[in-house]
Structure 1
Amino acid sequence: MRPAPIPPASEPLQYRAIGLVRGRYQPDPEVFTKGSLIASDGACLDAVLLGRVLSLVKKHIDLSQEHLWVVYPRTRDREGGLHVQIVGLWEPEMLTKRSQLTPGIRPPSPPKLQVSENFFSIRGEVVFTRPDLQRVVVRISQQTKTEPGERPAGFKLVLQGTLDLRALHHFWDFQVERQGEALVVRQAEAVAALPGRRPKPKPQPRGQGQPDRRSVSHAGQTGEARPQRSTLPRRHDPSDRPRPQASGQKAPRPIKSVRLPSADAGSPEEE
């Protein structure tokens, strides 16, 4: 058993989402690790048993009774409905019942619970807030091995509370109380501002250096002078002669020069 169901954070920027729910676990008839957690307030939460607590539940826990479960919360992005992953059990009195007591010696009383039965500790980055809807979305990063430059895996939790827009992309420590299927913020503390993420560069389309025709035509409509290409006068070349274009007809032959008779020669006499 743990010395406390929810120990204090070991690091200032420790991501986590953990809480307590008192209720009765009702497994699915076909799959024992899936079922429902019927809370003491009547809320029915979808639940799964993780491997670390599976053998304990099967061998030593009376599922017909209510117990105080240590759970990891999960919420749906839009609806905000709560479902939990059961990771442990907090019942210090079980150790007292199993121990062999010496006659005449009073057994030690179990430690008192320092937090509420519906207490949750949420620590993560605020990625969305809507004060008018009392909606806060917190991203929890999981400690998994990732490639350099790759964003660590994680999940988002929907909380019910009010935060200013300046809380975005800051690390926050929330103390939350479960009310039915809602996680209601009771206390929030800003821990640190997180460095901004650079957006991925978009691929440039081909022909990025060419001018935009639409911008040139628009400039003409607004009355601005369009840029014209400067032309230099062409130097005259006497060898340039008009050449006949290729066609189906032959080019006309040149006319031969004819020598005319001089003016002294008379015309032939009539007979």
Structure 2
Amino acid sequence: MQNHPIPSVTDPLQYRAIGIVRGIYKPQDDETFTRGKIIDVKGNEIDSVVLGRVITLIRNHVSLEKPHLWVVYPRCRNNQNLHLQITGIWEPSTLNKDVVVQEELSNESSSFKVDSDELSEGDDYFSIRGELIFTNPEENEAVVKIRQKPRNQQKKVLPFKVNLKGAIPINYLKHFISFDVRRVDYQLLVEDFQIIGPIPKSSTNNKSRKNLKR
């Protein structure tokens, strides 16, 4: 059973970008429920969208007048602005524990066996795992590439980039890194990171080299 909104890592090279943000979700309007903003305790308004399977849960079980702990996927629009995709809600004290509260984790868990809404990591924690493709330690800037698993074999899913604020040494470029990140206003600040290792050379590169030799 899943007892945490951010699951444990199952593979050392497991890519992901997931976090938790407390706030009030305000839809754009009555007719556009899936697009809106998460308004945090400071009044910051973060552009957000609600992903498919969570819509029914929110409509039927969640009061939008109150703040909640949202499970989100971070995205960076125009490589700058923070954007959130709402994939679930962490509120086991009030939600029915038999309700699946996370779209992406529905295959891993169908219920929650905890009664506390508080998490040891605290609010606004994000787990970012991927390839470091850019870093500027002097400016506290870093960019991580995240690769997604395709939902079906016929559809190719393109990787995306997440911008972080933190001094990551340049010699870790092209390394797989696990980041512990905290959202502060509209930025994702690195609190800690662990170097997993260099990115393995892909088999596609090896195939292309063989083709060039021919």
The farther-off stretch of 110-119 and 62-71 is 110-119
Superposition misfits of 4+ residues, deviation over 6 angstroms? none
Gaps of 5+ in 2: 98-113, 210-214
| Cα distance, 1:152–1:68 mapped onto 2, change above 3 Å | closer
Q: Is the 8 A contact 1:76 1:158 kept in 2?
A: no
Q: Is the 8 A contact 1:77 1:156 kept in 2?
A: no
In the other structure, the counterpart of 1:262 is none
Alignment of 1:175-214 (within 5 A): 175-196=180-201, 198=205
Gaps of 5+ in 1: 98-107, 202-271
| Cα distance, 1:130–1:7 mapped onto 2, change above 3 Å | same
The farther-off stretch of 2-11 and 188-197 is 188-197
Output the amino acid matched with 2:70.
Answer: W
Aligned residues: 188
Q: Which is bigger in relative contact order (C-alpha 8 A, separation at least 6)? A: 2
Counterpart-to-counterpart distance in 2, 1:77 and 1:133: 19
Q: Equivalent pairs: percent with the same residue?
A: 42
1:42 deviates by: 1.7
In the other structure, the counterpart of 2:69 is 68
In the other structure, the counterpart of 1:37 is 38
In the other structure, the counterpart of 2:27 is 27
SS in 2 for 1:125: strand
1:195 deviates by: 2.9
Of Structure 1 and Structure 2, the greater strand share is in 2
Q: How big is each residue's C-alpha offset from its partner over 1:171-202, in whole Å with a ceiling of 9 and x where there is no partner?
A: 0000000000000000011001113465978x
Counterpart-to-counterpart distance in 2, 1:156 and 1:87: 18
Alignment of 1:15-164 (within 5 A): 15-29=15-29, 30-78=31-79, 80-95=80-95, 110=116, 112-144=118-150, 153-164=158-169
The farther-off stretch of 64-73 and 189-198 is 189-198
Q: Is the 8 A contact 2:54 2:88 kept in 1?
A: yes
| Cα distance, 1:56–1:42 mapped onto 2, change above 3 Å | same
1:153 deviates by: 2.0
Q: How big is each residue's C-alpha offset from its partner over 1:49-79, in whole Å with a ceiling of 9 and x where there is no partner?
A: 001210011111110100000000001354x
| Cα distance, 1:77–1:28 mapped onto 2, change above 3 Å | closer
| Cα distance, 1:146–1:109 mapped onto 2, change above 3 Å | closer
Output the amino acid matched with 2:41.
Answer: S
Q: Is the 8 A contact 1:146 1:152 kept in 2?
A: no
Q: Is the 8 A contact 1:18 1:70 kept in 2?
A: yes
| Cα distance, 1:77–1:127 mapped onto 2, change above 3 Å | farther
Output the amino acid matched with 1:71.
Answer: V
